A and B are shown apart, each in its own frame.
Chain A
Amino acid sequence: MDRLPDEALLSGLATGDPDLAVTFVRRFQHRVFGVAMAVTGDPQLAEDIAQQTFERAWRHAQIYDSRRGSVATWLTTIAHNLAIDAVRARRTEPVAPEDLDALLGVVTETPERWALADEASSRLRAALARLPREQARALVMAGIYGMTAQQIADAEGIPLGTAKTRIRAAMAKLRKTLASVRRGDHAE
């Protein structure tokens, strides 16, 4: 069972087989919990979100489409979305600066720890690290914490237009990075 492909495991969940469920949860719980923790910073809330993520995946399994990405990516997206919703519902004040800095550190980290990561991810980390700090902050606030441009503007004390420009500039650079990975060239 441990060798079942992710997709097969997901389909098998529908049968209600507890062994399949255990294998599925065991395989993805670190991913799902990690995402929920990164966004919420609250272990209790993160556990709740992680549980909901598995339930959601189980209920949606028949809609999962492998052409769009891996099961892990799918779960990551669900967990991320649920986490953002939970945070939006609870938190009105912006992300604590030290949390943001810590997260920026984590996502731009490129050492051996990530040696097993695929090339696109490594390149993305490197590209993030090269972004002007304020662009990287705006990108993380929007893309990871789910903050709108207006919320970012308020948090950073900058005009709305500036927040939008920062998000856009950061996305444009990362897009270029991923495009070059896909083409297989190694130009910066």
Chain B
Amino acid sequence: MPSDMSCEQLREASAELALGVLPGRERAEAIAHLDRCADCRQFIEPLCRVGERLIGLLPDQEPPLGFETRVVRRLTPDTTAHEGHGSARARGLGGRPVLARIGLAPAAVTLAALCGFAGWAVGTAIEDVTASAPAAPRGEPMLVGDMTSAADAGRSVGEVYAHPGRPGWIFMSVALDGAGRPYSGKVTCLLERSDGGTVRLGEFALREGQGDWGSTARVDSRGVSGARLVSPDGTVLATAHLQTGQVLTGTGQT
């Protein structure tokens, strides 16, 4: 993990970072720095606002004839696939596809938290890379699971999506903010194998119990049975049982 950027260097790069034009490696270093430096986070926030406002100055324009109809047709292909889903899963995998969430890399998530929509812009850029790579085309099977709280008797606290293939990837969205004081700090994500072993995938930070994380990972759909979030002292915070599901864009159903 690159992390050698100083505060001074960060501030020099911050205008470009906020405008989303800092090249990859520098951006990774800057984000690593922001992750551990509250002062710099505070410094960059108003610059992100400027970037956002700047785009806001672009004028509206009349789209071509028929645009509205064409878009609406793409947005509302078929709505019957919702039936039979009642859980959080239905929200995730029902009429609205979840595929789009998956490409969010950790760096983008960090910046999203800081920069609001400017961070979103970074997130969608990364998503494009991930989604246009060999990642899931429509309807490809992937592993999905509801994440449940270890402390709070199976309460649903998030979702996990793991995509086999090359490169495979995993994405999870966690909201461990139920009873008591929400956990803040590093968590480790482990994949549970059907043979009982575990594979450490990586670490990310929860803030007030909340966090999204994604990574490329080798996911073997038959060899993987679940995922687990563990705090640094080894406490299991949440687990998910992963099953093969189908993620469809638009009319999805597991």
Partner of A125, one of B57, B61, B116: B57
Partner of B20, one of A121, A146, A164: A146
CA distance A87 to B174 in the complex (A): 34
Q: B125 on the interface (CB 8 Å rule)? A: yes
Q: B6 on the interface (CB 8 Å rule)? A: no
Q: By DSSP majority rule, is chain A's interface helix, strand, loop, or mixed?
A: helix
Residue of A whose beta carbon sits closest to that of B81 = A16
Contact A55:B75 (CB < 8 A) given known A35-B58, A69-B117, A146-B21: yes
Residue of A whose beta carbon sits closest to that of B118 = A77
CA distance A37 to B91 in the complex (A): 34
- Give the distance to chain B from A26, nearest Cβ to Cβ, in Å: 6
Task: Please choose the segment from A1-9, A90-98, A167-175 that sits at the chain B interface, where 4 or more of its residues have CB less than 8 A away.
Answer: A167-175
CA distance A62 to B175 in the complex (A): 14
Q: Are A77 and B19 in contact (CB under 8 A)?
A: no
Q: Are A81 and B125 in contact (CB under 8 A)?
A: yes
Which residues on B sit within 8 Å (CB–CB) of A170?
A: 15
CA distance A124 to B168 in the complex (A): 44
Chain A 166-186 residues near chain B, CB threshold 8 A: 167-168, 170-172, 174-175, 178-179
Q: Are B58 and A34 in contact (CB under 8 A)?
A: yes
Q: B99 on the interface (CB 8 Å rule)? A: yes
Partner of B95, one of A14, A26, A179: A14
Bitwise, B122-153 to A at CB < 8 A (1) or not (0) is 10110010000000000000000000000000
CA distance A121 to B60 in the complex (A): 14
CA distance A74 to B57 in the complex (A): 14
Q: Are B19 and A167 in contact (CB under 8 A)?
A: yes
CA distance A156 to B98 in the complex (A): 42
Q: B35 on the interface (CB 8 Å rule)? A: no
Q: Are A175 and B50 in contact (CB under 8 A)?
A: yes
Q: Are A30 and B124 in contact (CB under 8 A)?
A: no
Q: Are B62 and A50 in contact (CB under 8 A)?
A: no
Task: Please choose the segment from B63-71, B225-233, B235-243 that sits at the chain A interface, where 4 or more of its residues have CB less than 8 A away.
Answer: B63-71
Which residues on B sit within 8 Å (CB–CB) of A15?
A: 79, 95
Q: Are B101 and A106 in contact (CB under 8 A)?
A: no
Q: Are B61 and A30 in contact (CB under 8 A)?
A: yes
CA distance A149 to B18 in the complex (A): 13
Q: Are B12 and A164 in contact (CB under 8 A)?
A: yes
Bitwise, A49-87 to B at CB < 8 A (1) or not (0) is 011001110111111000011000110111011101100
Which residue numbers of B lie inside 8 Å of A, CB to CB? 12, 15-16, 18-23, 46-47, 49-64, 67-68, 70-72, 74-76, 78-79, 82, 91, 94-101, 116-118, 120-122, 124-125, 128, 249
Q: What are the 3 A-B residue pairs with the smallest beta carbon separation, nearest first?
A: A16-B79, A34-B61, A68-B116
9 additional A-B residue pairs with CB within 8 Å, beyond A30-B61, A47-B63, A148-B21: A14-B94, A25-B72, A34-B58, A38-B58, A63-B101, A107-B58, A144-B55, A144-B58, A174-B54
